[in-house]
A = this chain, B = another copy of it.
């Protein structure tokens, strides 16, 4: 039998192997360390090397894009040596980086299809004729007169707090002042203009506003320069309400007791005000210079932000007090910007399809394409919208907080110390993992849980019903306090000094969550007579979407089994929607139109949901025909 020489760079070690050997075998023979956490099954992609010279045969190109193959990438565990070869072993970090991008949805940077100068906030500078004994016109009429003459600004309205500043500003500025005016708002398209501030002297150099997203978990603030249209600072932090409940339901319950509502409103305001202050400090401005905000968030978050009791959201038949709050001045809620600044809360359409979704739909530009699009925002609730430029249908499924780490023994949020990806060795059933922040692990976050479930299923650690096989020849499966469990990280490896495990109960919770989400997709598609395979693009919004490994999510049957290149991750679509609505009247109007156009499907009123949910309570699904790529993978196993 022929032998070939395999030379490994950059270590420059060479070995001889028999024809038909794998690069992985050669590496082991040469003492070149390659990671193979999946047990050499070609699933994890961590043993990728670059074949610089010579002939090889790749058994599989899983994990490798055509461009990768073009560049010589091959998986050591799946690549047969068919001649003398030179193999370059990239630094493990580089592989990790590539994999991290791996089968996640591609990040899409969307264009801004609107006219920046379309937004209605203005600054005008005017110099007035000073009053005299002959011209006794009062300050406000004098200012109005000049604004009409110079800028054709008719019958502007000023609130009392602005009028209180007027006299001093005029005299301090020696009759030159700058006014901040909102020409119109969505609820009064034909004006009249509203005076927001009056400043002594001329101050036309800047005009600030902010886009805000109030997530149940994370709050985000984008500070926007309305003159250039650019985002000048981005700040995010946990919603201070978390201490009073992790999900919207517990917050609603908290809000309904004593002065819980005021407390929750105060807590989110504290968080937002801190973020606004930090953003303002970064640009060396005062928060008083922020004259407008647009706010997106789910309906409960918007209610709590505005101080509107959210009780009815959680009680049958799940009704919001108001889907589209009117614009109001910041002082009414204690938001730490200019007290007269306009607060424009974007419209939601239902208790569980809020402004985060309408703004997400607008910012994802799904109505701008003719393609059948599925927009998904998965958090505690999974919200999903199906449609194209002519129709939109939305629903929300109460996935529960399992994928946010709650209800799972070692679950945690995606912060430092969280296991975010797991590989299970298909032969030894050993686990390998990646931890956020490269620390010792403290728990497992949502993307880690999805990854773990997929690996356990694909390697046969558990069956399609999610039952762990206790009879496997490994100490990692065992009977624990909460029934069967699988040890992801041994006590000696963890930050806590305890095993990190996943239990049958955890798996059950996660199965219910993923089933709810997939059932939502199914009911949406079925309600309009379509199949999920018809979906031409999936646009994923929300912070969680950023970390989901699409492949693994498909393997557990959480996302529909359609080609990976149809999945796109858009980042925080909610704050982005708030941002575009801030910059453009047209886009603001589009949010309203989207809210009006969107049909809401209340799943608890839909009698097919329960069937779809039950059918999805398997890995990946009772109907494997819906998951051809997973079926193929399992067959190959």
Contacts A160-B307, A306-B160 known; A134 to B171 CB distance under 8 Å?
A: no
The residue in chain B whose Cβ has the minimal distance to the Cβ of A308 is B164
Give residues 306-329 of A contacting B (CB, 8 Å).
306-309, 311-312, 316-326, 328
Across the interface, which residues of B come within 8 angstroms of A323, CB to CB?
Answer: 138, 140-141
- A159 in contact (CB, < 8 A): yes
Contact, CB under 8 Å: A167 / B604: no
Q: Which of B187, B308, B317, B332 contacts A136 (CB 8 A)?
A: B317
Residues of B within 8 A of A164 (CB): 306-309, 321
Interface core residue of A132, A136, A137, A166 (most chain B CB under 10 Å): A136
A333 within 8 Å of B (CB atoms) = yes
**Chain B: minimal CB distance from A200 (Å):** 14
Say if the beta carbon of A106 comes within 8 Å of chain B: no
A163-209 interface (Cβ within 8 A of B): 163-164, 166-168, 171, 187
**Residue in B closest to A188 when the chains form the complex, CB atoms:** B192
CB-CB under 8 A for A133 and B333, given A138-B320, A320-B138: no
Report yes or no: A134 in contact with B309, Cβ–Cβ below 8 A: no
Binary CB contact string for chain A from 133 to 159 against chain B (1 if under 8 A, 0 otherwise) = 110111111000000000000000111
Q: How near does chain B come to A607, taking the closest CB pair, in angstroms? A: 11
Chain B residues in 8 Å Cβ range of A140: 321-324
Q: In the complex, what residues of B have CB within 8 A of residue A370's CB?
A: none
Separation of A318 and B137 alpha carbons in the complex (Å): 10
> Please, how many angstroms separate the alpha-carbon atoms of A187 and B191 in the complex?
13
Contacts of A134 in B (CB 8 A): 605
A139–B318 CB distance below 8 A: no
- In the complex, are the beta carbons of A308 and B160 less than 8 A apart? yes
Within the complex, what minimum Cβ distance (angstroms) separates A541 from chain B? 23
Question: What residues of chain B lie closer than 8 Å to A544, measured between beta carbons?
Answer: none
Instruction: Say whether, besides A171-B312, A600-B136, A159 and B328 are in contact (CB < 8 Å).
Output: yes
Q: Does A602 contact B (CB under 8 A)?
A: yes
A27, B69: Cα distance in complex, Å: 137
For the complex, is A563 an interface residue (Cβ under 8 Å from B)? no
Check A321/B157 contact, CB under 8 A, given A134-B605, A136-B600, A139-B312: no
**CB-defined contacts of A309 to chain B, threshold 8 Å:** 164, 167-168
Contact call B306/A136, Cβ cutoff below 8 A: no
Q: Does A497 contact B (CB under 8 A)?
A: no
Contact A321 B160, beta carbon cutoff 8 Å:
no
Whether A321 lies near B139 (C-beta < 8 A) is yes
- Across-interface contacts of A187 in B (CB, < 8 A): 157
| Complex Cα–Cα for A602 and B605 (A) | 73
The answer to the question of A264 belonging to the interface, with a C-beta cut-off of 8 Å to chain B, is: no
A480 within 8 A of B: no
CB–CB A167/B312 < 8 A: yes
Check A350 for interface membership: any CB of B closer than 8 A. yes
Across the two chains, which residue of chain B brings its CB closest to A602?
B133
* Closest chain B residue, CB of each to CB of A140: B322
Say yes or no: B157 contacts A604, CB within 8 Å. Answer: no
A113 within 8 A of B: no
CA distance A603 to B471 in the complex (A): 106
Report which residue of A132, A133, A602 has the largest number of chain B beta carbons within 10 angstroms of its beta carbon: A133
Are A321 and B605 CB-contacts (below 8 A) given A160-B332, A326-B159, A333-B160?
A: no
Q: Which residues of B contact A163 (CB under 8 A)?
A: 306, 308, 321-322, 325-326
Q: Does A628 contact B (CB under 8 A)?
A: no
Please determine whether B350 and A136 come into contact, CB atoms closer than 8 angstroms.
Answer: yes
Residues from chain B with Cβ under 8 Å of A333 in the complex: 160
Q: A54 interface residue, CB < 8 Å from B?
A: no
Q: Is A31 an interface residue (CB 8 A)?
A: no
A437 at the interface (CB under 8 A from B): no
Bound-state CA distance A318–B134 (Å) is 11
- Contacts known (A160-B326, A308-B164, A332-B160); A133 close to B321, Cβ less than 8 A: no
Contact of A326 among B139, B157, B321 (CB under 8 A): B157
User: Hey, what's the 0/1 contact readout for A86-115 against B, CB within 8 Å counting as 1?
Assistant: 000000000000000000000000000000
**Is the C-beta of A368 less than 8 angstroms from some C-beta in chain B?**
no
Q: In the complex the two chains form, what is the Cα distance from A171 to B256 in whole Å?
A: 14
CB distance from A371 to the nearest CB of B (A): 28
Given contacts A167-B311, A308-B167, A309-B167, contact A318 B160 (CB under 8 A): no
- Report Cα–Cα, A325/B161, bound state, in Å: 11
Q: Give the distance to chain B from A167, nearest Cβ to Cβ, in Å.
A: 4
* Bound-state Cα–Cα, A257 to B616, Å: 72
Q: Are B138 and A322 in contact (CB under 8 A)?
A: yes
**Bound Cα distance A328, B332 (Å):** 14
Type the 1/0 row for A328-355, where 1 means its CB is closer than 8 Å to any CB of B.
Answer: 1000110000000000000000110000
| Cβ-closest chain B residue relative to A166 | B321
Contact A167 B321 (CB under 8 A): yes
Bound complex: CA A137 to CA B348 (Å): 11
Which residues of chain B are within 8 angstroms of A324 by Cβ–Cβ distance? 140-141
The answer to whether A317 and B131 have CB atoms under 8 Å apart is yes
Q: List 25 A-B contacts (CB under 8 A).
A: A132-B317, A133-B317, A133-B605, A134-B605, A136-B350, A136-B600, A137-B319, A138-B320, A138-B321, A138-B322, A138-B323, A139-B319, A140-B321, A141-B322, A158-B326, A159-B332, A160-B307, A160-B326, A160-B328, A163-B308, A163-B322, A164-B306, A166-B322, A167-B308, A167-B311
Which 10 residue pairs across A and B have the least CB separation, nearest first?
A133-B605, A140-B322, A167-B321, A138-B323, A138-B320, A131-B319, A133-B317, A139-B321, A160-B328, A164-B308
Beyond the given pairs A139-B320, A159-B326, A166-B321, 9 more chain A to chain B contacts, judged by CB atoms under 8 angstroms and listed by A's residue number, are: A131-B319, A132-B317, A138-B323, A139-B312, A141-B322, A160-B328, A163-B321, A167-B312, A167-B321
| A contact set with B: CB distance below 8 Å | 131-134, 136-141, 157-161, 163-164, 166-168, 171, 187, 306-309, 311-312, 316-326, 328, 332-333, 350-351, 600, 602, 604-605
